[in-house]
Amino acid sequence: MARTVNIKDYHREQRLFLRRMVVASILIGLCAITLWTRLGLLQIARHDYYLELSQGNRARLEPIPANRGLILDRNGKVLAENLAAYQLELVREQVPDLTATLQGLAALQLIPRDEIEDIRRLVRSRRGFEGVPIRLRMSEEEIARFAVHRHQFPGVDIRTRLTRYYPNGALAVHALGYVAAIGEQDLTHIDRSAYAGTTLIGKLGVESAREKELHGTNGFREVLVNAQGRSVQKQGGFAPDLRSRAPKAGSDLILSLDLVAQQAAEEALRGRRGAVVALDPDNGDVLVFVSQPGFDPSLFGRGLTRAEYRNLETDANRPLLNRALRGTYPPGSTVKPVIALAGLKYGAVKPDDHRFCAGVYNLPGSSRLFREGRSGRHGSVDLQDAIAHSCDVYFYALANTLGVDHIAEFLEPFGYGKPTGIDISGEQSGILPSKEWKKHRFKRPADQIWFPGETVNFGVGQGYMTVTPMQQAHMVSVIAARGKSFKPRLVTGLRDPETKQATVIPPQRERDVDHVRPEDWETVFEGMKGTITRGTGRGMGTGASYTIAGKTGTAQVFTVAQNAKYVEKDVSELLRDHSWFVAFAPAEAPRIALAVLVENGGFGAAAAGPIARKVLDAYLLPRNTPEVKP
């Protein structure tokens, strides 16, 4: 008998289906809740955040570079400003053949032929639709030349921009510095976002030292772009409200330089290698800052070719060298007024003590003879006569009596052997020798011994001692101010470019030379005035309406053998003596103290002295433009 078998259990399947439906409904409900929660979070809770992201996808920030601050002299005359210039730009995607285009521009002498490969790499490193500057500054002749052939260069056009302009050319270039293209080294220490859209940065001088103030704050504007990053007016019918912020121009710098005196110094030194530095003894203001030869700073702003930079770098006259700060030379006889003060301080000499100068000094206990300079023999001289006539024999003996340690100790507060601290970079410290210095300077024990003959040379500014023209100006400024010492400075104030209101930067007082008696200052003053009236600089004050106190100096470039005689005409120019002159005026109430160096110029009074007189006249004599301090 057959049995009945149930193949399907409808009730069981229905219960299973219901359970699955419940689970699925729960899952769907959870997913729906999650979805709605997420939508609420995105569209409501975080609406502002994602709106900003969306804005960033459809709008690009384009920087608006700020105008660089002006640089003015102490009377408000412009030393550096910004002018519109024309630059050549190339858009790669519009250029059919990049290589042929660059070669064609080189054939027209619009770009250097030896820089074609560098320009090609620069263009290919940028997006194809962006304009790339391939020539930063064009002359009117070059603009006209390109305009005639414009149809031959699709994708290349002329654009305008502001560029740095120095209206006086190379004047004061080593004080001002220059601007040039931002390099890899600059990128390591600047905020790149702050320099977006900027191609130039300050190099050297105040352009570099005050880069932060001069640069200003860049602005920006939002530009609507498509998916490829190209600028468009609107997407579809939607024109968004785009943001923008105007740039804030950099602060104007007010320098201590006096343009009239600066021009006089540069003109007087033209054609020679040397430096002129003048300070105001009452506050350390740098009135004149000259290093010759110089160079046109605008060359760096437009971009130097390799050949142009190579010419500057290999020039035998070294125009890139800042001789005022980095040139180091023996001071020669210009150090004698300070040696005289040391002698009075330590009681090694009295003002009215006379010593006989027979033209030669014999170091006690030695057969070595130290000869007088060009003046031969002076007979019986006192301290003031020794300064006025620059008597080497007198100072040989005085230095030997003082000893090297007393000399070094006394000279240090006058700024020798260390940077003066001027507010631009690159200053050399020079050498203030001493027994301790020599022990550290040389490795061999035999070379570490200090010999008496070295002290004798020290007394006339020869031997190991070296100074910069800036140190020399600082030294004579301290003497002029009777011991008051200020840190030299070029920048005296900042001016707001909009309101034209100036903020004064106060001078920085340093440690005074307070261990000199008033009567000793007076003795040295009289000796330095005697230099001009009856000594080695006589005649320099002829016709002057003010009194000059000064000191000539002649620094040897090489050592003359004991039995040999120095004859300038028989010596190569580069081996001739350096010419120094330091001075301050008016002697009764000094307003200016200066140092003049002429490399290989020979006797100090002959080469450096007349330059100093022209600078003093330019600064002290009446002029039409009154001095206006910030």
Strands 502-504 and 491-495 turn out to be antiparallel
- Where is pLDDT greater, at 531 or 162? 531
How much is the pLDDT for 227? Answer: 54
Q: Does 626 score more than 50 pLDDT?
A: no
Please determine, for residue 403, whether its predicted confidence score (pLDDT) is greater than 60: yes
Q: Which of 541, 489, 528, 537 is nearest to 510 (CA)?
A: 489
Number of other CB atoms surrounding residue 154 within 10 Å: 13
Residue 131 has pLDDT above 80, yes or no: no
- How confident is the model over 82-99, as a mean pLDDT? 85
Interacting residues of 100 by C-beta distance below 8 A, sequence separation 6+: none
pLDDT above 90 coverage of the chain, percent: 50
Residue of higher predicted confidence among 550 and 94: 550
Average pLDDT, the chain: 86
Peptide bond into 433 cis (omega under 30): no
What structural domains and CATH numbers belong to the chain?
A: 62-250 (3.90.1310.10), 259-620 (3.40.710.10)
Express each pLDDT in 593-619 by its tens digit.
Answer: 999 999 988 776 789 999 999 999 999
Residue with tokens 């000796």: 527
* Nearest residue to 537 via CA among 353, 396, 334, 339: 334
Lowest mean pLDDT among 118-132, 147-161, 391-405, 556-570: 556-570
Catalytic member of 208, 298, 333, 390: 333
Q: How many CB atoms lie within 10 A of CB 112?
A: 18
Q: Which residues pair with 405 in a beta bridge?
A: none
* Residue 384: predicted pLDDT: 95
Burial class (CB in 10 A: 0-12, 13-18, 19+), 516: buried
For 115-124, 398-407, 490-499, which range has the lowest pLDDT when averaged over its residues? 115-124
**Tell me, what DSSP letter sits at residue 448?**
G
Q: Which residue has the tokens 């000259």?
A: 290
Instruction: Average the pLDDT over 324-337 and give the result.
Output: 95
Side chain identity at residue 46, one-letter code: R
Residue-level pLDDT at 322: 95
Residue 192: other Cβ atoms inside 10 A: 10
Classify each residue of 447-463 as buried b or exposed e, where b means 16 or more C-beta atoms within 10 Å of its C-beta: eeebeeebbbbbbbbbb
Q: What pLDDT is attached to residue 627?
A: 47
User: What value does the mean pLDDT take over residues 548-558?
Assistant: 84
Q: Each residue of 355-395: pLDDT tens digit? A: 999 889 988 888 788 888 766 788 899 999 999 999 999 99
Q: Cis omega before residue 586 (within 30°)? A: yes
pLDDT band at 561 (very low <50, low <70, confident <90, very high): very low
- The pair of structure tokens assigned to 408 is 């070094």
What is the 8-class DSSP label of residue 159? E
Helix %, strand %, coil % of the chain (to 5) = 40, 20, 40
**Arithmetic mean of pLDDT, 533-561:** 84
Partners of 89 in the β-ladder: 133, 157
The residue-averaged pLDDT of 396-404 equals: 94
What is the Cα–Cα distance from 247 to 67, expressed in whole angstroms? Answer: 8
pLDDT digits (tens, 9 = 90+) for 14-25: 877 788 888 888
Answering whether pTM is above 0.85, one says no
Q: How far apart are CA 308 and CA 604, in angstroms?
A: 35
Number of other CB atoms surrounding residue 346 within 10 Å = 15
Closest CA to 421 of 492, 471, 494: 471
List the beta strands (DSSP E) in 19-127.
59-64, 71-72, 78-91
193: tokens are 């976002």
Read off the pLDDT band of 629 (50, 70, 90): very low
- Contact call for residues 332 and 461 (beta carbons, < 8 A): yes
Q: What is the mean pLDDT of residues 445-452?
A: 90
pLDDT given at position 19:
82
pLDDT at 437: 94
Which region among 86-95, 296-305, 333-342, 517-526 has the lowest average model confidence (pLDDT)?
296-305
Work out whether strand 369-371 and strand 286-292 pair parallel, antiparallel, or are unpaired: unpaired
pLDDT band at 439 (very low <50, low <70, confident <90, very high): very high
Sequence-distant (6+) residues with CB within 8 A of 540 are: 532, 548, 550, 605, 609, 610, 612, 613
- At residue 217, the pLDDT reads 84
> How many other β-carbons are positioned within 10 Å of the β-carbon of residue 304?
17
d(CA 557, CA 579): 11
Active site residue 333: yes
Q: What is the C-alpha separation between 409 and 334, in angstroms, rounded?
A: 18
Q: Which residue matches tokens 């200020």?
A: 486
Count of helix runs (H) and strand runs (E) in the chain: 22, 21
Judge whether residue 194 has pLDDT over 90: no
Query: Taking residues 104-119, what's their average pLDDT?
Result: 85
- The span from the CA of 566 to the CA of 254, in Å, is 47
The pLDDT score that the predictor gives to residue 38 is: 83
Ranked by mean pLDDT, the top range of 49-63, 90-104, 296-310, 422-436 is 422-436
Grouping H, G, I as helix, E, B as strand and the rest as coil, residue 127 is coil
Give the pLDDT mean for 201-216: 91
Mean pLDDT of 268-280: 96
Residue showing tokens 């009446």 = 622
Between β-strands 274-279 and 131-135, what pairing exists: parallel, antiparallel or unpaired? unpaired
